[in-house]
Structure 1
Amino acid sequence: MAHYCKTCDTEVSMNFCPNCGEPAKLKRIDGHYIMHEIEHVLHFERGILYTVKELFINPGQSIRKYISENRSRLVKPIIFIIVTSLIYTIISHYFHIEDEYIKQEGLPANSAFVKILTWMQGNYGYMNILTGGFIALWLKVFFKKYGYNFFELLIMLCFVLGISMLIFAFFALIEGFTHFKLLNVAGIIGMIYLTWAVGNFFEKNKISNYFKALLSYILGFITFFIAIGLIGITIDLLTKN
């Protein structure tokens, strides 16, 4: 009796599909499978630890290789930024780190803008992707001659912002145990890392690239918050009428 691949419907006569490579029969999920998946994610040769190491040591070369040569060594950028943002969110919520930093005094609690800010606090992964989109637009303006498209720049920023979230997570963890106020320090170091990593991505020996990277970061955040402010105001005006 002929067997067909459940993924691409190709006839399979051996252990793996000759067309897509999927196994002819999936193994049952058990404890060994779970341990293998955890090891795969943390594997130092091509997992999240390897990705963090490469992005700290040589972010420009690592990300350029991911975009143009080899996409199997680093963790997928969207997954990376969501996971790193989740790590920071868990730490900050557990220690209530942001309660003394983020205040919304003078703003009506039921306004759309406040609700958007509250949502952002609980969804840093998605917020970073959205913020990265605005920064990418400015990078496209300042680094047009390098020929990267918007989506390639966004992927680069997912890696860089992911490391920034790990920096925040590290300082949040220390603050949680020591009660020293360190989140502002984390913000400065995170901005320095982003400036260095983005400048390194384009051309590490060109000093002006680092200034352009910093300017893109600042303008990206400003335009992002202007945009959500306008969206909040628009929603409030429409709901009142």
Structure 2
Amino acid sequence: MNEYFCSKCQQNLKPKRIDGHYILHEIEHVLHFERGILYTIRELLIRPGENIRHFISENRSRLVKPVIFIIVTSLIYTLINHFFHIEARYIKIDGAKDQQLNAINSWVQSHYGYSNIIMGAFIAFWLKIFFKKYDYNFFEILILLCFILGMEMLMFSFFAILEGLTKFYMMQIAAAIVFAYFTWAVAQFFDKTRVSSYFKAFASYILGMITFGISIMILGALMNLIVQH
């Protein structure tokens, strides 16, 4: 009998050695390749609102877990951005003007996964206001945004690669596509038959980003006051 085998719990007491197969299995487990992160991306491209609504209300095994999805897709964009230095062509940070605010902005750029979740909370607030007659709570709307913002990160990643390879400015095009995708996906989630759903979705996105930006400025100002005193 195997001395490292427990007859009660039917498990090995001593785990197998970590090797390449173990690492691949862990990556597959995190990204849920069994059903597929690629499957999730395809479904979110074709029928985002319907699939997310189905995930929330009926079956949560068809798609990759939303928080994992937004963190992984944000990491993909971060790696591509660091490799091609895309944002350096668009964003200039002057450390001499407001060190605390610039420190926050630098953190946001270095931690897009967490930043997107935080920004998603601001957008969710406005979506909850504009679509208050629908029976979705704040956290369910936040799950919706984890999927949508994750897809946006992949779209930005695609155009960042194109810009890195061609040296043409592509991120403006990416931003327009992202705005259109967000509006369409959110409207599809709530009620794609109403024109007002598209306007409410777009307004929620704009207001969410504005309030997120204002909160960063307020936080920077508070940090400056703390440092000065």
User: Normalised by the size of structure 1, how large is the TM-score?
Assistant: 0.86
In structure 1, what residue type is equivalent to 2:191? E
Partner residue, 2:190: 202
Contact (CA 8 Å) 2:32, 2:64: kept in 1 or not? no
Q: Report the number of matched residues.
A: 221
Which residue pairs with 1:225 in the alignment?
Answer: 213
Looking at structure 2, the residues matched to 12 and 86 of structure 1 have their Cα atoms a distance apart, in angstroms, of: 42
Q: Which position in structure 2 is the counterpart of 1:18?
A: none
Give every structure 1 segment of 4 or more consecutive aligned residues whose post-TM-superposition deviation is greater than 2 Å: 11-15, 24-27, 29-43, 107-111
Write out per-residue CA displacement over residues 138-161 of structure 1, whole angstroms, 9 at most, x where no aligned residue: 000000100111110011100000
Which range moved further: 63-72 or 160-169? 63-72
Deviations 1:148-176 (A, max 9, x none): 11110011100000000000000000100
Verify: 1:153 aligned to 2:141, yes or no.
yes
Look up the match of 1:25.
12
Shift of 1:31: 3.1
Shift of residue 206, structure 1, vs aligned partner? 1.3
Identical-pair percentage: 57
1:79 is aligned to 2:71: no
RCO greater where, 1 or 2, for CA within 8 Å and sep 6 or more? 2
Match of 2:24 among 22, 31, 35: 35
Question: Offset of 1:14 from its aligned partner?
Answer: 6.2
Within the candidate set 161, 169, 177, 1:189 is matched to 177
> Relative to structure 1, is the Cα distance of residues 167 and 14 closer, same or farther in structure 2, using a 3 angstrom cutoff?
same
Deviation for aligned residue 1:112: 1.1
- 1:6 corresponds in structure 2 to none
- Tell me if the contact between 1:113 and 1:233 (Cα under 8 Å) persists in the aligned partners: yes
Equivalent-residue separation in structure 1 for 2:227 and 2:9 (angstroms): 62
Aligned to 2:3: none
Contact 1:112 1:232 in 2 (8 A): yes
Match of 1:91 among 77, 80, 84: 80
> Cα gap change, 1:225/1:36 in structure 2, threshold over 3 Å: closer, same or farther?
same
Distance 1:90 1:14 in 2: 42
Deviation per CA, 1:109-161: give whole Å up to 9, x if none: 55211110011111111110010000000000000100111110011100000
Match of 1:181, SS state, is: coil
Q: CA deviation at 1:49?
A: 0.7
Q: Summarize the Cα distance change of 1:160–1:223 in structure 2 as closer, same or farther, 3 Å threshold.
A: same
Instruction: Look up the match of 1:63.
Output: 52
Given candidates 86, 89, 104, the residue that maps to 2:93 is 104
* C-alpha distance 206-93 of structure 1, shift in aligned 2 (>3 A): same
Shift of 1:13: 4.0
Q: Distance in 2 between matches of 1:190 and 1:89?
A: 17
After TM superposition, give the deviation of residue 234 of structure 1 in Å.
1.2
- Change in Cα spacing, 1:31 to 1:220, as seen in structure 2 (3 Å) is same
Kept in 2: contact 1:108–1:114 (CA 8 A): no
CA drift at 1:39: 4.3
Distance, in Å, in 2 between the alignment partners of 1:160 and 1:88 is 15
Matched residue type, 2:70: I
**Would you say the 8 A contact 2:66–2:147 is kept in 1?**
yes
**Structure 1 residues 34, 238: closer, same or farther in 2, change over 3 A?**
closer
Q: Is the 8 A contact 2:123 2:204 kept in 1?
A: yes
Normalization by structure 2: what TM-score?
0.90
Equivalent pair of 2:101/2:220 in contact (CA under 8 Å):
yes
Q: What CA distance in whole angstroms lies between the structure 2 residues aligned with 1:159 and 1:42?
A: 15
Counterpart of 2:40 in structure 1: which amino acid? T
How big is the alpha-carbon RMSD for the aligned residues of Structure 1 and Structure 2? 1.9
- Contact 1:48 1:75 (8 Å CA) reproduced: yes
